[in-house]
Structure 1
Amino acid sequence: MDVLVLVGRIIFVVLFLSSAFAHLTQTKVLAGYAASRGVPAPVPATVASGVLLLAGALSVALGIWADLGALLLAVFLFPTALLMHPFWKESEAQARQLEMTMFFKDTALGGAALMLIAFFSYAGGDLGLTITKPLFGIG
């Protein structure tokens, strides 16, 4: 089971590592998109979200306070769904569908991150292949 959990953690965070890399290397482009969505201070917000993504993803992948890492990812995902993908504001059908897909992708991944918080907080100390025990204790 330990290897299965490790493989799952790594697969789960690939998207976040890729996004973190983009946020930190293509900051101006992504900040322009954030500005178009009304995000205040888009350049600092883009850099901060990149750091948040990187810290959360590495934490989950490496098993260093993986519950905290999952919390960081959830903190990114839920506001991002609301701020960046408000499909209810789109009038054109194709744009609305795309934003709806992105909104529900972010909320589904946020839900998975919440489950990881509970999983690691409850059973994390008994899981192998982590560097630290969980930061939070549930149960």
Structure 2
Amino acid sequence: MKIVPLLGRILFALIFVMSGLNHISGAGADMTAAAGVPAAHVLVPIAGLLALVGGVSILLGYKTKYGAWLIVIFLIPVTLALHKFWGVADPMQAQLQMAMFMKNVAMLGGALLLAYFGGGPYSIDNNKAK
């Protein structure tokens, strides 16, 4: 069962590593600007850097707790600014945004667990502790 936290870290981190790489290049900045976020062409790459660094940290299990806090810092404003399902008139779009909002809330919960418990037995952090 010691492998379970490793598998969980890998699966959790993948979305942040992949989207972080995309966001660093500015992908999504136009959509973010359309959602009313000021300076989106600056903020999106910064958010991408947070996601990428946090994701790699969690993936490797290196300074996992700090990496998880980077993901928390990334997720809170992104979730609140981009997935405002309560203000969407079209029922189909509102449902989609609510699903995205709840997905981010679930990932926020996972990040908080990692911030508290760390990377687990098969992590660089755990090897350093020995």
Alignment TM-score, normalising by the size of structure 1: 0.85
Number of aligned residues: 126
Aligned to 1:4: 4
Aligned to 2:71: 73
Give the residue type in structure 2 aligned to 1:53.
Answer: A
Give the residue type in structure 1 aligned to 2:100.
Answer: M
2:75 is equivalent to residue 82 of structure 1? no
Q: Secondary structure at the match of 2:28?
A: helix
Aligned to 1:45: 43
2:34 to 33, 36, 39: 36
Aligned to 1:91: 89
Aligned to 1:130: 123
- Alignment RMSD, CA only? 1.3
Q: Secondary structure at the match of 1:132?
A: helix
Using the TM superposition, give the Cα deviation of residue 108 of structure 1 relative to its aligned residue in structure 2, in angstroms. 1.1
Structure 1: give runs of 5+ residues left out of the alignment.
134-139
Give the residue type in structure 2 aligned to 1:99.
Answer: Q
Question: What is the CA deviation profile of residues 26-67 of structure 1, one whole-angstrom value per residue up to 9, with x for unaligned ones?
Answer: x1x411011011111111101101100000001111111101
Alignment TM-score, normalising by the size of structure 2: 0.90
Q: Secondary structure at the match of 1:39?
A: coil
Using the TM superposition, give the Cα deviation of residue 104 of structure 1 relative to its aligned residue in structure 2, in angstroms. 0.7
In 1, the alpha carbon distance for the partners of 2:106 and 2:89 equals 24
- The 5-angstrom pairing of residues 18-33 of structure 1 reads 18-25=18-25, 27=26, 29-33=27-31
Q: Secondary structure at the match of 2:38?
A: coil
Q: Which runs of 4+ in 1 moved over 3 A?
A: none
Same amino acid, percent of matched pairs: 37
Using the TM superposition, give the Cα deviation of residue 78 of structure 1 relative to its aligned residue in structure 2, in angstroms. 1.6
Structure 2: give runs of 5+ residues left out of the alignment.
none
Using the TM superposition, give the Cα deviation of residue 24 of structure 1 relative to its aligned residue in structure 2, in angstroms. 2.1
In 2, the alpha carbon distance for the partners of 1:47 and 1:11 equals 23
In 2, the alpha carbon distance for the partners of 1:19 and 1:115 equals 21
